[in-house]
Chain A
C-alpha cells in the first residue's frame, strides 16, 4: 500500500520562501507529482520528479530523494495568489497497464502580508 505524509497547514509571508515537505512509502515507485489546488477549483499540475535531484520551474522547484522516500516543493518570492492547497502524489506502476496516483491529504498554505 501507500503512505504519504505532508504537513496540514503552513503560513508564510509575501515575498518569502517556503518549503513544503512530503514523505512517502511505496512498493512500485514511478514518479512523484506536485499539484496546486485553489479553493473550489480542480488540482493543477506543478511539477514532476522521477530521478533524484532538483527540478526548477520558475518560482517553483521540486526535489526528490528516492532512497529517503522524500520530496519537497519550494516556492520562492511568495505571492498572495500562492495561497492554496499543495498536494503531493506518488505514482505506482501496476500490472494491467496504466499508472495510478495516490495523493497526500494536502498542505494548506496561507500567504500573509
Chain B
C-alpha cells in the first residue's frame, strides 16, 4: 500500500517567494495533519483536517501560512511570502477513525529559504 506522499522532497528558494507543499494522504484516512519540525522547537502541529474540514489551525504561525484540503486525497500548505525563519522540515500525516490507529507520516519536505 502507498503511504503518505509528499512533494517536493526538497525545496530551496529565496525569501519573498511563494512556496507550496503538497500531500496525498493514505486512501481511506479521514484525518490529515501538517507539522513543522526544527531543532529548536521539535515537531509542531500547524493544522489538521477531519473529513476535509479544518478543525484546528491554532498552530499556524501567522497569516503568511495557509492550508487547503479540496478533496479527500489532496492537501496543500502554502507560505506566501516566505522568510528564512520558515526553513524547516514539513511533514504531512494521516490517520483513520479507529481509536488505536497511529498517524502515518510522509517523508517530509525539507524547505530552505535563503
Contacts and interface: CB of A to CB of B under 8 A. Distances in A.
B43 interface: yes
Contact of A106 (B42, B106, B107): B42
Interface stretch (B11-19, B49-57, B65-73): B49-57
A65 interface: no
A98 B25 CA distance: 15
B91 A42 contact: yes
B48 interface: yes
A91 B105 CA distance: 16
Contact of B95 (A97, A99, A105): A99
Contact of A48 (B44, B49, B56, B102): B102
A102 interface: yes
Interface in A12-64: 30-31, 33, 35, 41-45, 48, 50
Interface residues of B, number: 24
Most buried by A among B44, B50, B107: B50
A99 to B, nearest CB: 7
B100 A48 contact: yes
Contacts of B78: none
B56 A100 contact: yes
Nearest to B44: A103
A50 B45 contact: no
B76 interface: no
Dominant secondary structure of chain A at its interface with chain B: strand
A105 B40 CA distance: 9
25 contacts: A30-B99, A31-B99, A31-B100, A35-B102, A41-B107, A42-B91, A42-B105, A44-B105, A45-B102, A45-B103, A48-B100, A50-B99, A87-B43, A94-B55, A96-B55, A98-B48, A98-B49, A98-B55, A100-B48, A100-B56, A101-B45, A102-B45, A103-B42, A103-B43, A106-B42
Contact of B108 (A31, A42, A103, A105): A42
A96 B54 CA distance: 10
A99 B96 CA distance: 9
Contact of A50 (B31, B95, B100, B107): B100
Contact of B31 (A31, A98, A105, A106): A98
